[in-house]
Chain A
Amino acid sequence: DAGVIQSPRHEVTEMGQEVTLRCKPISGHNSLFWYRQTMMRGLELLIYFNNNVPIDDSGMPEDRFSAKMPNASFSTLKIQPSEPRDSAVYFCASSTSGFGGYTFGSGTRLTVV
């Protein structure tokens, strides 16, 4: 089992550019979560998919953020345009429905300059 795979590991971009983060969940996991982690705000839930359908996107900061899950093995989080305050580590996690623990990917460290 390769675990949850995120790419890229690091991303440095200029303000105003589009950023796309990618995630491959564990095969068989039907719940997928995007989190953002900063020192100030901790781990924030951005969006949650169940069976590829967005269930709760109330944590998405604003319209500049969008997420998709076109199939069970792939999800993207897009920021356009990016701003310096978007700098953070973005984690993707997956789990089985019900009461399984979450498996986190290694994260993408995003720096917007």
Chain B
Amino acid sequence: QQPVQSPQAVILREGEDAVINCSSSKALYSVHWYRQKHGEAPVFLMILLKGGEQKGHEKISASFNEKKQQSSLYLTASQLSYSGTYFCGTPDNNNDMRFGAGTRLTVKP
């Protein structure tokens, strides 16, 4: 069963912040985050393995709440290069991953 992402789309000005949420109806072992630019393949950003763990990549960080079966991706002081579609992925105990529907982020000058 695939995770649910919100919002579906976000439009920002450079320097603004955004939060993308990912939730699951099943217990989560870990959460992955990927970014896909138009016409390209998804690129791995980070993986969160423990409840409450936070990780960072550039000015992008994420949190994972096991109990709530949720993860959030935080984009701080957004740059033009952050534009793309962000996907969360939730592997099951076989390590095969289902992805959310994606959140399209547009950063404007």
Residues in chain A within 8 A of chain B (CB atoms): 31, 33, 35, 42-43, 45, 48, 50, 55-56, 91, 95, 97-107
Contacts and interface: CB of A to CB of B under 8 A. Distances in A.
A43 B87 contact: yes
Interface in B27-61: 30, 32, 34, 40-44, 46-47, 49
A42 B32 CA distance: 16
B13 interface: no
Contacts, number: 54
Question: Interface range on chain B: under 10, 10 to 19, 20 to 34, or 35 or more?
Answer: 20 to 34
B97 A33 contact: yes
B44 A48 contact: no
A42 B97 contact: no
A42 B99 contact: yes
B94 A104 contact: no
Contacts of A98: 95
B102 A104 contact: no
B95 A50 contact: yes
A101 B99 CA distance: 13
B10 interface: no
A103 B95 contact: no
A38 to B, nearest CB: 11
A99 B89 CA distance: 12
Residue of B2, B32, B40, B97 with most chain A CB atoms under a 10 A cut-off: B97
B108 interface: no
